[in-house]
Structure 1
Amino acid sequence: MNASFAPGGVLAGGLHAVSGPDHLAALLPRIMGQKWHKSMRIGATWGLGHGFSATVIGLAAFFFKDRLGLGHNKRLVAMMGSWTEGLVGVSLIAIGLLGLKESLLDYDETPAYEAKSAGSAVVEGGGAPGGGGMTKSRGGGRAIFFNGVLHGFSWDGAPSLAPALALSSWGSVLWFLLAYCSGTMVAMSATTTLIGEGSVRVGKALDQPDIPRKLSVVSSFVAIAIGAVWLAKAVFF
């Protein structure tokens, strides 16, 4: 039965989504200081984009596996992988810089009395109370989706898609890949929900509403550092 491959796809997609350091690095600056519902939406949108591109890769690989000689295409595959890794690195650096801008510059432009007047109420937009600029949107749904797509086209997730190549029918492959996509969405949305809501609650519990902003600054630097590593790997190795 084709659907019997679905559990394996969900597990493969979920494990890959939460195990990639570049994945969380891309999302941490966006979810710090965000309430659970907004963090969950960000994670699910990114996971959908990642699953979409992984599905495209899986279907293409299954189509070409018996049609093209692997030996003649190793150089092309390696070149495509390097270009994609370089783009992922650039996107991580851009996300980190944008996170720093919103956490530092935009936060500083918020009047101090506005943060104090918020009290313990939840600021509209899902940010942490008194978080100032942290309540700003961290990027539209399209940007988050396409960032997930870009990460999905990098070759670091290829091993988790390998089972699709061992299947014998299009139906089985499609079931596996759709389950893989679902796994990335569920795992990433659960992870971002816990992190985003957790950062808000920590700020409340410690009576330090700027904690989400500080966490966002740290996560932005992490994104920049990981992006630099990916970019260097693509250019020099």
Structure 2
Amino acid sequence: MTVLVVAGCTAIDDPAAPQASDAKPSASPSAGVPGGEAADTGTLPGVPTAGQARAELAELKVAPHGSMSGYSRDKFSHWAEQGENCNTRETVLERDGTDVTRDDECRAVSGRWVSVYDGKTFTDASDLDIDHMVPLANGWRSGANTWTQEERKAFANDLTYPQLLAVSAASNRSKGDQGPDEWKPPSQAYWCTYARAWVSVKSDYELSVTEAENRGPGTNRRSPRGCR
């Protein structure tokens, strides 16, 4: 089977697939770096190398999406308190922004944020959503339905693995609960980092992937294996 790999964001056994960029804007949007160089993962923690992500993907269980029966966002309690009057949302906003100023209730009242999904710059925190790399509903369908409430709370508020990032509200809502076989960031420069982060979260939480997420290109070149 023809396989697309995370490493270098290039295709194996697919000469028709175009080369990819593998860079991520951090403080400002930037052009991709050709030739498969490692991406700058910026503030997003725990992003594996391409080789690590490829190895993790090979170990993931492949299964159809489970039922949405019983699902509710309320079963993934967020945003959790993180100390000093801050919750998870405010913590991520401070981490992902520059020159962030907070009020006495830890709300970001000024700063600058670049949404890595679409390269747009913001100075008003209300224009940003905190995206779950693996959406809560996707997590539910791929194994989180069997977790305890505390386990789901940890997943929804994870600051250790590459699960949370501040992005434009428009891009987050466009993504919804879709996987990378259905949606990728508008900024192609972020595709490889996105794929590696997605695989990492699925691996860290022992969640399954669908055949579409895992398979080679065929008619679908938007799987975590490849970043064209």
Does TM, scored on the shorter chain, surpass 0.5?
Answer: no
Structure showing the higher helix proportion among its residues: 1
| TM-score under structure 2 length normalisation | 0.24
| TM-score under structure 1 length normalisation | 0.23
Relative contact order (alpha carbons < 8 A, sep ≥ 6): 1 or 2 greater? 1
Structure showing the higher strand proportion among its residues: 2
Query: Looking at CA atoms only, which structure, 1 or 2, has the larger radius of gyration?
Result: 1
